[in-house]
A and B are shown apart, each in its own frame.
Chain A
Amino acid sequence: MVSQQRFDTVLIANRGEIALRVVRACHEMGLKAVVVCSEADRDAAYARSADQSICIGPSTVSKSYLNHNAILLAARLTRAGAVHPGYGFLSENSRFSAAVEEAGLIFIGPDAGAIATMGDKIAAKSAMVAAGVPCVPGPDTELPSEPSAIRTVAADIGYPVIVKAAGGGGGRGMRVVLHEGELLEAVSLTREEARKAFGTPALYMEKFLQHPRHIEIQVLCDTHSNAVWLGHRDCSMQRRHQKVVEEAPAPGISDALIGPVGAACVKACKQIGYRGVGTFEFLYEDGAFYFIEMNTRLQVEHPVTEETSGVDIVQQQLRVAQGEALSMGQGDVACTGHAIECRINAEDPATFMPQAGVITALELPVGEGVRVDTHVEAGYKVSPYYDSLIAKLIVHGHDRSDAMRRMRAALASFKLEGIATNLPLLRELFEDAAFAEGETDIHYLEKWLTTQGAA
C-alpha cells in the first residue's frame, strides 16, 4: 500500500508497449492511468487499457508525443498528478522535466538538473571521474579549438581516438580517427554536425576501443539518499548502434570484477542527488570498464533486470515519485538465473526497412519463464510514424544455456502474419555458435550479417 500519496493519477506521455507497461504498473499499485495518444494511435486497443485516453495531436511526433504544451494540457484536463515519460520522446528532455514540475506536477524521473548534467557528455564524464567511476582515457574537458592543442590531446591519448559531440548520444555525433593525418578534418566535420544536430559545437575526445562489449549497470535511487544497483546487462548485440538482443547478467563477468564498478555508480548517484531509475553504460574490453554515458530514464531492456532481480522497476519508479524510501538495501538485491530479451521489430529481416501495415494473425509464445511485453494484437495497424518496435520477447532460465534454449523455443512458436518482422533473423542468430558461446563484442552482429548476405 502506498501511504500519503502525492498523486493518484499518472499521465503516460508515451505510446505502444511502454505505455501499456506503465498502465499495468499503475493499476497494480491502485493508481489511475491516463494515456495520451496521437491521431494514428487513437483507435489502438492498448489505449483502452488505461482509465482514460486523450488524443493530443496529429500523428507527427513533433505535434503530439514531443509537444510539451499538448501533454501538459492533457495532464491538466485529466487531473493527473504525475507524468511518466516512458523511454524515448521526452524522457531525457530537461526542459520538459522542468516544465512538468513548474506546472505543479511530479515528473517520474530525475530532476531537470540531473538530466542536463548527464545529457552533456563532458559534464557527465567529469561527474563520473569525481565519483571514481572508470572512464575512457581522455580529458573530461571540452576539446580546444586550436589545431596544435587538438593534436596534443590526441597524441597524449594515443591513436585511434574518437571525437564525440558533447550533446550527442545513441551513436550519433561521433567520428573515429585512426591517425593524425585525418584528425583536424574529422574534428571540423564533427563540430559542424554537433552544432546543427545538438545545438552546441562542443566536442570531446577519447581513446577508441576496438573490440569492446556494451555493458550496463541499472541503478535505482530514492529522494532519501538511498541508492542500489540491480545487477548488470550485456547489450553488445547491436546493429548501427541499435540494440537487438539484451541479456542479464553479462556473460563471463565475475561479481568481483563488476562489484566495485556498481558501487561506484551508486556513489555517483548519491553525489549528484540522483532520483529514480538510471543506467550507466560502459564499454568493456580486456577486463576493464569504461563509462560512456548515463541514461536518465527507464530502458527498453529493463525487463531482463526485472526477471533476474525480481524487482518491478516501473513500480519502483512510481514509489520513488510518491516520495517513498527504497524498501531494499544493496544487501537485499540478489540476481538469479539468466534473462534474455529480443526486440521484435516490424522491419524487413534482410534490408531492415521499417514495415507498416496490419497484423493479420498473432500467436504469442507462452510457457514457464516466457514473457512478452507488447501492445499489438491481431488487426493492429503498425503505423509508419513511429519506432518499429512492436514487441519484446523475454525469457528467464536457470542459466544462460537454459535461457538460450527457452528463447529458441519461444521464437519458434512466435507467429505474426501480415507484416514482415525480424523474427527470421533472430531465429537464425540464436543458432549461431559464437553467440551461444557468449561474450561477443559490439561489432559481432554486423559482421555476422555480412556473412549472412545482409548488412
Chain B
Amino acid sequence: MSKPDFSDPAIVERLTAALEAAGVDGIEITRPDQSLLIRLSGSANAAVRQLLARRTDAEGVLVVVKAPMAGVFWPTDLSRTSGPATSAASDMIGLLQVGPILLPVAAGPSQRLRRHLVETGTVVGFGDPIAEVEPEA
C-alpha cells in the first residue's frame, strides 16, 4: 500500500471533513518524510484553520504554512527582530486581511518563522503557500 501524500489538497480536505464530522479540533500526523497539522477554527489557540505541509530538505524539517482562506496577507516585520521571528516571542507569522477583519496566522506549536513566501499586501487564495516555518531550536 502506497503512503498518502500529505501535500495533496484532496487528502487534506478529506481529513478535514472527517475531523469536522467527528467534532475533533485537529490532528497532527508525523512520519520521517512528511508531517501534517490540521487545526480547525474554534479550537484553542487557533483563530483560523491552518494547513501545514512539512517537507524535509538538507537544512532540516520545513513546514509550509498555507493561507486558511482568501485574503490580503500582511507578514510580520522581520526587520524588527534580530533574527527570524520565533513562535515563543510571537506565535503570529502574519495577518490575513479579510474585508475589515484581520485574522492572525500562526506559526504552529513550537515552530518559528524561517521566511515569508509572499510579499506584503499580496492577494492570496485558500491554500496558497505564505510562509515556511521550522522547529524551534
What residues make up the interface of A, taking CB atoms closer than 8 Å to B?
Answer: 37, 39-40, 42, 53-60, 64, 70, 73-74, 76-78
Contact indicator B9/A42 (Cβ below 8 Å): yes
* Contact string against A for B residues 64-104, beta-carbon threshold 8 Å, 1 for contact and 0 otherwise: 00000111100000000000000000000000001100000
Asked if A39 and B9 make an inter-chain contact with CB atoms under 8 angstroms apart, the answer reads yes
Which residues on the B side are within 8 Å of A59 (C-beta)? 9-10, 13
Residues of A within 8 A of B99 (CB): 73, 76
Could you tell me if B13 and A60 are in contact, using CB atoms closer than 8 angstroms?
A: yes
Residues of B within 8 A of A (CB): 9-10, 12-13, 16-17, 69-72, 98-99, 123, 125-128
Report chain A residues within 8 Å CB of B69. Answer: 57, 70, 73
Contact B98 A73 (CB under 8 A): yes
Q: A40-B10, A42-B9, A76-B99 are in contact. Are A56 and B70 (CB under 8 A)?
A: yes
Do A74 and B70 touch across chains, with their CB atoms under 8 A apart?
A: yes
Minimal beta-carbon separation of B7 from chain A (angstroms): 12
| Known A-B contacts A54-B70, A70-B69, A73-B98; A40 and B9 likewise in contact (beta carbons under 8 Å) | yes
- The listed residue (A40, A42, A58, A70) touching B70 by CB distance below 8 A is A70
- Neighbour of B125 across the interface among A40, A54, A60, A76, CB < 8 A: A54
A77 in contact with B70 given A40-B10, A54-B123, A55-B128 (CB within 8 Å): yes
Q: Supply 5 A–B pairs (Cβ within 8 Å), ascending by A.
A: A39-B13, A55-B70, A58-B17, A74-B70, A74-B125
Nearest-Cβ distance from residue B30 to partner chain A, whole angstroms: 23
Taken together as a complex, chains A and B put the C-alpha atoms of A70 and B99 apart, in Å, by: 11
Chain A residues whose C-beta falls within 8 Å of the C-beta of B127 in the assembled complex: 39, 42, 55
Q: How far is the CA of A401 from the CA of B53 in the complex (A)?
A: 57
Taking CB as reference atom, which chain B residue is nearest A53?
A: B125
Taking CB atoms, residues of chain A closer than 8 Å to B70 are 54-56, 70, 73-74, 77
Q: B13: which A residues are within 8 A, CB to CB? A: 39, 58-60
- Given A37, A40, A42, A77, which contacts B123 in the complex, CB threshold below 8 Å? A77
Bound Cα distance A1, B73 (Å)? 37
Residues of A within 8 A of B128 (CB): 55
A414–B126 Cα distance when bound, in Å, is 36
Distance to closest chain B CB from A84 (angstroms): 18
Complex interface: chain A residues within 8 A of B9 (CB): 39-40, 42, 58-59
The complex places the Cα of A60 from the Cα of B15 at a distance, in Å, of 12
Distance between Cα atoms of A37 and B71 in the complex (Å): 14
> Which residue, of A39, A53, A56, has the highest number of chain B Cβ atoms within 10 A?
A39
| Whole-angstrom distance between the Cβ of B41 and the nearest chain A Cβ | 13
B residues near A53, Cβ cutoff 8 Å = 125
- Residue of B whose beta carbon sits closest to that of A57: B126
Q: What is the CA–CA distance of A56 and B9 in the complex, to the nearest angstrom?
A: 13
Determine whether the beta carbon of B10 is less than 8 Å from that of A56: no
Residue in B13, B71, B99, B125 with the greatest tally of chain A CB atoms within 10 Å: B125
Instruction: Name the distance in Å between A195's Cβ and chain B's nearest Cβ.
Output: 25
Do B72 and A77 touch (CB < 8 A)? yes
Residues of A with C-beta under 8 A to B16: 58
CA distance A111 to B125 in the complex (A): 29
Q: How far is the CA of A64 from the CA of B123 in the complex (A)?
A: 17
Instruction: Give the 9 A-B CB pairs with smallest separation, nearest first.
Output: A55-B125, A39-B9, A58-B13, A54-B125, A55-B126, A77-B123, A57-B126, A59-B13, A55-B127
Residues of B within 8 A of A76 (CB): 99
Name the distance in Å between B5's Cβ and chain A's nearest Cβ: 14
In the complex, A73→B16 CA distance in Å? 22
> Is A77 a contact partner of B71 (Cβ separation < 8 A)?
yes
Contact A73 B123, beta carbon cutoff 8 Å: no
Residues of chain B within 8 A (CB-CB) of A55 are 70, 125-128
Give Cα distance in the complex from A58 to B12, angstroms.
Answer: 9
Q: Are B123 and A78 in contact (CB under 8 A)?
A: yes
Chain A residues with Cβ below 8 Å from B126 are 39, 55-58, 64, 70
The residue on B at minimum CB distance from A40 is B10
B109 to chain A, nearest CB (A): 23
B17 touches A60 (CB 8 A): yes
- Separation in Å of the A326 CB from the closest CB of chain B? 36
